[in-house]
Amino acid sequence: MTLRNSPLMTRKNGVKTWPPRWTTADQEKSDWPIGEVGTLQQIWMHDLFDSCLFLFIEYDGFSYTGSIYFDDPMFCYDIYTLLQRKVGCSIKEIGDLDLSHLRLLSQSTGSVSR
Give the whole-angstrom CA distance, residue 28 versus residue 9: 28
Q: How many residues does the chain have?
A: 114
Q: What is the pLDDT of residue 103?
A: 55
CA dist 77 to 32, 36, 43, 63, 114, Å? 27, 21, 11, 24, 9
Q: What is the pLDDT of residue 65?
A: 98
The burial class, CB within 10 Å (0-12 / 13-18 / 19+), for 104 is exposed
**How much is the average pLDDT of 47-66?**
95
For residue 109, name the pLDDT band (cuts at 50, 70, 90). Answer: very low
pLDDT tens-digit series, residues 12-31: 999 999 999 999 999 999 99
Rounded to 10 deg, the angle between the 102-109 and 73-84 helix axes is 120
7-106 carries CATH number 3.90.105: no
Is the pLDDT reported for residue 111 higher than 80? no
Residue 69: strand pairing partners: 52
List the Cα angle 18/25/96 in 5-degree steps: 20
Is the pLDDT reported for residue 110 higher than 70? no
**How much is the average pLDDT of 38-64?**
95
**How much is the average pLDDT of 43-55?**
93
Domain ranges of the chain: 7-106
SS3 content of the chain, % helix, strand, coil (to 5): 25, 25, 50
Is the pLDDT reported for residue 108 higher than 70? no
